[in-house]
Structure 1
């Protein structure tokens, strides 16, 4: 019986000092899903605790039922000691006690424990005896070297009535992209064919009540002879057999107009050919939740049709599973690739048609942040993240993520993102990159999964400031205004480039500046706007009236129109800022200043304090400068704060390190 935690287990796991040891540790917080087949955990050995623990592979498939404070035995973990960041990656574990209701010992943070010479007087590894007596130890589930399994739907469930599903094709807006599969893992993890955590809650394979678990049976049929390749499939009705790897699985969907259900998987064979396999109606319901991304399967006795919809289905043919089909879950086959990337460049989207798919590897130009939008269609709030990125074509484009996907991808400057099956869209006759129903996103993927990543990293690190300044924004099919973009710059350089607006008035200049706010004009600070159209409204007796919308409001929406002076180490400049940026700078909504203006006794002092508190603060500003004309036709240069970020010393230090790395690469390439 296990009676105590393993002392110094955290340090041993981080440094991989004893790969064969099975460490007993406490999970302080239940695992949280952060990506497909990736769960974050906070663990303790009684003396120290560590927040950067992760469950992958087999551990990720069964960890969703773990509770706070449970005790596990780490049976397998990945040697990550050569990584420049401290983290613990556990690939398999055994649950020892699930009924623990207190923290073992008084663990301190690992860094503090390490700096104190691995000393913690209040630490302890002893598990209280009252928990031992409850006989909570659970037998390990042996999942190693399983024979092939045949996936066959239970006959008794075939005729069951189809339950209602809320997320129909018609009800689900395209912008939500709940079907995007997040992949942020190493190829070794994919080799273990761990299941993807689906967006809906019906696919939890670890739930003991899951109806699909009874569908997995041990198969004595190991016949893999007469295999056909995807490229040779024929829609002739003859029995065919393929061996493939699952690269993507969609969610189970319901049709609104017709009674029916559908989900599909994308697969790849040893030659890198791809196709989509579809499951309909009761077949879809019974097979849903049984497949895992990265899994190798053999499929027999299926229907083949010519693919007439390349936007949603892969390859020249589509495969449909029927009641006679047999699916064998196989052992890992390294001859079948993990994923296929038909990489193209941003400039190539100009040669594509609307709806075409494209695979991209891009570098993030600047840090991104999540914004909240109000959709005109239904006035619902929606999260949005705009990722400005570029590639070796020295063309940049803006890719927008929506919904939960926007929240998940905290893209930073210099991050490398792979978009597989992004969709070509058009807006105002300009080509753009959209995230479609089947788009997959890989954030900073391993080079073993995408070998092209190595060359992209090397190219990016070798760029100098002159090359960065030549990056052009994708303009679509027209010859619209030129946009000059760069990474971190300075105000004196910006002012020099503003002079070019005299000869090229259509040009737009983007600059990221590290500077501070010197002064904010106290009038005008805001305007009173309509909540619907955001246009200026006027007071009519006791109500506020919007002529444009023909609506009355008890109060207006006071939105910022700030004019402020910012500076860096080289110069100063007057800039404008609007509502979202204004709220970030002043820390309050514009309504607060309206209330202050109405307060004749204390309002002036309130405004003064708020404005003074916002001055002399340092930020990173993303500035847009362009030429505008007033009502009389007179031209003037206007600089607007497009986005703003707090000054972060750790991030600034990282930028310095990155600059040094780039310098070293340049020195190596130019001895």
Structure 2
């Protein structure tokens, strides 16, 4: 008996804070759910005095009966019951086994079912804006409290600001809808438009968080217009009457098996007195110099000083005729490393780089161009200027003391940007020196002749937006779907991805070229090649055949990649230039001098 925390279950079901209570597991059964990939277990718990059967374990696998466990993190949730009204459930988020069930072997004490013994004492938790969520145990069970419990559902229906029963994000599911959550807006996307065979409209999405987890919510059409300006990042709101459904993991990276959708009946009210119960947005900042070793496509949190920013660039997409805007921001931090951050759309339009502001980016996408790494914003990226956090003040102080005049290494500098930066090397030397072993690949250049160009699969239909080159799916109804953008379009753009065999004096190598460089060799745009392949096969074949036996300087990236447990040497051409014989002869003379000496 002395191993268990006496009275722990009563305190927890009242909503009182309790540090590491120790209880016994009297029963543990897996909950079957066809829609959930996450294992959950219903448990019967005992503290020696009382027992409860409404407990759920989400933190780990099942626990043996009679085991003694220490509960490290827990929360209370509510589910509707046709018999008893709202039923409290103790959700265990983290626990550890103190003594295994096989060692204990027996039930400790003579626990009484808490729902029979103390039901009126804990089924009273109601939150109002002027009170905390924890009740004073000295007046639990008084008539006024009992009256509040009976009237709570009616008060909730009248107004969210009068009284509310709070549920947790981790307890939401499609199987009940009488809930209110109190959550912070952690991120909000821009308003976007969509169009498909069923019509068109606008939408935006935002991420919510509380102490139990996160969930994504999306609003469409008129509801999107209603709430877009109302919902602000970092503010806390009460949400109710939203649709909960299984999350589409293809477009939703939030760690929750469900997602929410706002509808015309949804109710959202700002929490005017943030009591600190809902946690602040957390950042996992990485120093800029560590971005050099990260994979392309990774999402990172970065904070840096804007040392300079380019003017906004406006251009028109050739495929969609839409006007696009971008701006490049040059960021530095205490690692004395710089990187280019590309902003798009309204983020580029509203950015002000005067007075060297501190820029915080949550969820920036790592990219690579010409051997240099860069960052760019995506739809889910969040940007803050001069945030009032410790990291901001620290980096600002560094910049004022020494950073402004320090020499920095630029990660975005193109390795293949100039011939003096890219070493000349033959294919034989590339293999002899074992290039391609590094994580980001190795760069070299060689003068080579095109021996064969593959026309098969050299062209594909891509997303028409300028910032996306993902292959689209032909829906065979006049529309094309981009899975990356999660949109359907009435058009597409052609993109080249050409494989060719090139040879220098020492060896030959199969290489891949993307649209911009392939167009230089073929002398045609991707659109012209695509139309030719669709309408005139002979003309298309001639375009590829005419490239044979032409000479260029190929700046390449060599990388050893693993596919199906098999290592393959892959070479991508990052830049194609006409042969500068004066420069190449200078290189050859230098090599001859080395041999003579």
Q: The TM-score by the shorter chain falls in which range?
A: 0.3 to 0.5
